[in-house]
A and B are shown apart, each in its own frame.
Chain A
Amino acid sequence: MTHPTIDQLRRLVAGAATSDEQAAIAAHVDSCAECQAALDRLATGPDLWSGIAAQLADKSPIEPALAQAMDALQAHPTVTAAESNTTPDSKLSFLAPSDAPGHLGKMKHYEVLEVVGKGGMGIVLRALDTKLQRICAIKVMMPELAAIATARQRFIREARAAAAVSHEHVVTIHAVEEDHAPPFLVMQYVAGRSLQQRIDDTGALELKEILRIGMQAASGLAAAHAQGLVHRDIKPANILLENGVERVKITDFGLARVGDDSRVTQTGVVTGTPQYMAPEQARGEAVDQRADLFSLGGVLYAMCTGYAPFRASSSMAVLKKVCDESPRPISELNSEIPDWLVAIVNKLMAKDVKDRFQSASELSALLGQHLAHLQQPSQVAIPARVDPVRSPISPAETSRKSVALPIALMLLPLFVVPAIVLTSNFLDKGIVFGAQESVICLGVVGVPLFLVGLVLLISRLTTRPDDSANASSPAQARIAGETQAQQCMGGGCNNCRRFVRLLPGSCDRAIGHDSLVFGQLGRTRTRLSFVRRTSNILRQFAGAD
């Protein structure tokens, strides 16, 4: 066959040739180098093609994060981050329209029936799992939080960890839906009320109820602790009581941390009051399972008295009390609570972790024994009493102590000088003290001592009790010490560090956002003034955690 014409080749390349035509040309091109080159030229031209080929060959697999972002984008073209942040009406804008009338909407295969609550971290929905045909509770991460990568990762991580706990007194987590924007977790739906609502409704609980709820909560905690989990936010609102039997179900494991890093960058406000927080947690130190035991002690206290153990007008003031003060004695608020239970609560709420019960299972067993004894006194012996914990110093005691020393100094000469005189005279050695020598001795030794005592006393009395309490508390002293130095503060970016000078006593670390700087004590943040010294870059920021 002769060479095909250039028009024939063009039509072939454009896909316009008939199959007969194509077969005939193919047979020719098989062995004709000239026509092979002509086809290449017609198709793209070798120069242009080499660039394209290199890029095509380089096609890398889509990273999972990108794939998720693309899915989220394709699923929700109209929801913008700005909208979901600002418009209150769009709080539920992440829901897809539902097919069923009367439903709020749906997410994946969950038909959302109603909003049952709002927490610091997100909103809680009651929903129907259409695949399994069961009612479940869904906790949706707040869009503002979900927009922050670290918070989202933490949400998923904590939810997964909590999902590993299976216990009758812990709310079961069915699923963690992370490939949805915003992510959500699917939990067992507990019909009932929280312990907080119960206390609000009825005040202090009956002894048997306190023991039963305390025991069940402790055993739920023990199961989670066995998995290495720390709840971090044990409080009556997180202890659910199932309708009817009021079986305890602990909820929100680990989720207290999700908002920790990020909330300040969103609003600068920390919501909620840390009334049940352990002192080490309030100071921002590392916590372990014993922090949950402190909080559980607070819950027991609330059940005994009807009130949270530490109450004050602001979170900051609550935290100060958590760290420095003992709660008002239970016996003053409810005389019906037996001493042995007071001792248990006090041991749980010991400021020093070493003084507390060391495990939730130990506590659960003890409460169980007491409950058994109450129910069948003749068959079950009352357990041994818990040793009283050395009481933490209350501010009143602190000021009394601080006045005792100067007064003692002032009174000292009255005893010491006659003692010296008498002793010397009695032993009849060296100088014999007459009236004159005694007066000299009193003047030399007594007057300075008296003056020193007087000065001390005046200074003690003019200092406010608050300050003296601060000085005597190790936590406050540590904070006060640190504030003398410049504090470094870091951000999410890799290598910027700034310096601020903290207001004395206000906080133990600083967190900043543009021109806003917050001092942080535990989870409470207060706004600070700060010194701009941007040229000082001390060292690399050591990660967001």
Chain B
Amino acid sequence: MNNAPVTRASLLLRIRDCADTQAWRQFVQLYAPVVFAYARRRRIQEADAADLTQEVLRSVANSVGKFDYDRTRGSFRSWLFAVTRNKLMDLHRRQSFGPSTGGNSVQDLLNQQTAREEVDAWDQEFRKQVFSTAADHVRDEFETFTWQAFWRTAVDGVKPAEVARELNMSVGAVYIAKSRVQARLKEHIHELTEDD
């Protein structure tokens, strides 16, 4: 699969084109886990969370080409959050039996939860997914040993001298590998989060 990174703005443009399956795949790859993780944290069982994820992403895909999503009104991230929250409430309405004024329904818990906490959790998940997607994309641009040198030092936190021994590289080469991958990652993360 070609993982050539595209910026998210162009991703949003490109998914309007039904024939552009690559853009759609990347879109799913980037956002499905965010929605899923959010639902799971709201104690939605796995199968329902998966359903919700599909529903949210399909509805987003449908709306992106229409007027529902207006970039001037806010970031895509917060719009996706709003859509997810609404669908989650729909889900509870559908699943709960009887009118949902019952004091301790999940929906009410949702409502009571402080908005700040919610948004923070969402943002955190969003960032995490952007980072890991960026890492997936960028990995292919580097030699395996360059990537390993980066990962062992920058992510695993192993000392460069030790990594150099592990990988049979010079310490200088490890430093350079690490900095090159980091710089590229940072750049790509920026591309993915341009308008947040």
* A contact set with B: CB distance below 8 Å: 12-15, 22, 25-31, 35-36, 39-40, 42-44, 48-49, 51-53, 55-59, 62-66, 68-70, 72-74, 77-81, 147, 149-150, 152-153, 181, 265, 489-498, 511-515, 517, 532, 534-535, 537
Contact = CB atoms under 8 A, between A and B. Distances in A.
18 contacts: A26-B172, A30-B171, A36-B175, A52-B185, A55-B132, A57-B156, A58-B128, A65-B46, A152-B47, A265-B95, A491-B98, A492-B94, A493-B106, A494-B106, A496-B96, A497-B102, A513-B97, A514-B98
A150 B94 CA distance: 13
B170 A26 contact: yes
Given A29-B172, A56-B155, A65-B49, A489 B179 contact: no
Contacts of A25: 172, 176
B192 interface: no
B92 to A, nearest CB: 6
Contacts of A79: 58
Contacts of A58: 128
Contacts of B40: 63
B156 to A, nearest CB: 7
Given A31-B171, A58-B128, A74-B28, 6 more contacts: A53-B154, A65-B47, A70-B32, A77-B15, A150-B47, A265-B95
A515 B93 CA distance: 11
Contacts of B18: 77-78
Contacts of B107: 493
B86 interface: no
B165 interface: no
Nearest to A536: B102
A498 B98 contact: yes
Contacts of A40: 178-179
Given A43-B182, A493-B92, A496-B97, A66 B131 contact: no
B95 A493 contact: yes
B62 interface: yes
Contact of B62 (A29, A80, A497, A517): A80
A152 B107 CA distance: 24
Nearest to B15: A77
A56 B154 CA distance: 10
Contacts of A42: 179, 183
Contacts of A152: 47
A73 B28 contact: yes
Contacts of B92: 493
Residue in B33, B101, B175, B180 with the greatest tally of chain A CB atoms within 10 Å: B175
B186 interface: yes
A517 B98 CA distance: 8
B167 interface: no
Contacts of B94: 265, 492, 513
User: Which 7 residue pairs are nearest across A and B when measured between Cβ atoms?
Assistant: A491-B97, A492-B95, A149-B47, A26-B172, A29-B172, A498-B98, A30-B172
Interface in B73-116: 92-107
Nearest to A22: B176
Nearest to A490: B97
A328 B29 CA distance: 63
B175 A39 contact: yes
Contacts of A59: 128, 132
Given A73-B28, A514-B98, A12 B180 contact: yes
Contacts of A513: 94, 97-98
B172 to A, nearest CB: 4
Interface string B24-65: 110011001100100010010111111101110111011000
A74 B57 CA distance: 10
A55 B127 contact: yes
Contact of B102 (A13, A52, A498): A498
A259 B189 CA distance: 46
Given A49-B154, A74-B25, A496 B180 contact: no
